[in-house]
Amino acid sequence: MSKSQEQQAEADSSPSSSSSSSRSHPCPICLSPTPQLQESYLDRCFHKFCYKCIVQWTKVVASKYSEAPSSLKCPFCKTENFSIIHGYDGSSFERHYVSQIFSDSVFFTEAHRYRLQCYYTEPGFLSDAFDIKRFWKSRKYLQSNPWLYSWLKREIQALMQEEDVDVVAHHMLGTMESSLRRDDQRKLKAPEERQGEFKTLLRDAARPFLTGRTDRFVDETELFLASGLNLEAYDDVCMRRLGLKDAGVDSPEEPTNDSAVVPQSLFVSDEDPDGAE
């Protein structure tokens, strides 16, 4: 292990410890002292964890059942617990029931659920909806796509089932931007070559986080880029294909976090005339 890594580890542990008691009893999951605001306890055995850590673990346990379980074994002593006590301020506290934690994760919206569902359907159910070949041939990728970041963020959140994915999303965005808009002096690169290069780069960047879903993620992202649509419009096409939505009938959609709302009609016809063969 390198020196700098060690120093980083050192720095991680020293300043954040709020009290001496939390120092001697670090959270059994992250092994770090629990910050005061994160302090939480299981209702039966009163073992202490970071709220973030124990909720994450509850979700992992819950994901192994088809229905959300009502109790959680303490990771430390195996006592059955039914709720997590959190936010104790001397007089009041919040109580989160294990059975609810899986369903009330705020960030995981309907949109995330449907995206995750896409990864369970046959690949290629959308591939004839958009012209991927033309995307590469016409070099449309040279224009930056303003929705790409929101897209990446939502995909990664859905796949990792984790809310805080900004670092990962930025990392992938950086990789993609530099690959797509690298100004090649030897412009003669064939579109196929460009495409292959891009996909390899993105795959390498994504693999540590998405593991088994990586290849599919790369394909989905390529498809989204090729579509030239914003999130809403893309979802619309996609959900119709999946049969989640009737053609014609417009059900109100879950607004997606921070994507700009742009009139759909502007983008449906966004075809590059130069790209025509």
Partner 1 sequence: MQTSRARLFKEYKEVQREKGADPDIQLVCDDSNIFKWTALIKGPSETPFEGGVFQLAFAIPEQYPLQPPQVRFLTKIFHPNVHFKTGEICLDILKNAWSPAWTLQSVCRAIIALMAHPEPDSPLNCDSGNLLRSGDVRGYQSMASMYTRLAAMPKKG
Does 208 bind partner 1 (CB under 8 A)? Our answer is yes
Residue 12 binds partner 1, judged by CB under 8 A: yes
Binding segment for partner 1 among 70-78, 98-106, 225-233, 268-276 (CB under 8 A)?
Answer: 70-78
Least distance in angstroms from the C-beta of 59 to partner 1? 9
Q: Does 209 bind partner 1 (CB under 8 A)?
A: yes
**Number of residues near partner 1 (by CB under 8 A):** 27
Give the nearer residue to partner 1 in terms of CB position, either 59 or 199. 59
- Applying CB under 8 A, among 17, 56, 79, 175 the residue interacting with partner 1 is 56
Of 212-271, binders to partner 1 (CB under 8 A) are none
Q: Which of 9, 37, 190, 266 binds partner 1 (CB under 8 A)?
A: 9
Instruction: Identify whether the C-beta of residue 130 lies closer than 8 Å to the C-beta of residue 227.
Output: yes
Choice between 106 and 167, CB closer to partner 1 = 167
Select from 9-17, 106-114, 134-142, 222-230 the region that touches partner 1 (CB under 8 A).
9-17
Amino acid at position 56, single letter: Q
Q: Give the count of beta carbons closer than 10 Å to the beta carbon of residue 261.
A: 10
Determine, following the binding rule CB under 8 A, whether residue 30 of this chain makes contact with partner 1: yes
* C-alpha span between 34 and 39 (Å, rounded): 6
13 touching partner 1, by CB under 8 A: yes
Residue ranges in 166-195 that form contacts with partner 1 under rule CB under 8 A? 167-168
Instruction: Identify the residue among 37, 60, 190, 261 touching partner 1 (CB under 8 A).
Output: 60
Query: Do 30 and 17 meet the contact criterion of CB atoms below 8 Å apart?
Result: no
Closest distance of CB 126 from partner 1, Å: 29
User: Tokens 């990728």 identify what position?
Assistant: 141
Give me the least distance between CB of 65 and partner 1, in Å please: 12
Beta bridge partners of 274: none
* Site residues, partner 1 (CB under 8 A): 1, 5-6, 8-10, 12-13, 26, 28-32, 53, 56-57, 60, 73, 75-76, 78, 167-168, 208-209, 211
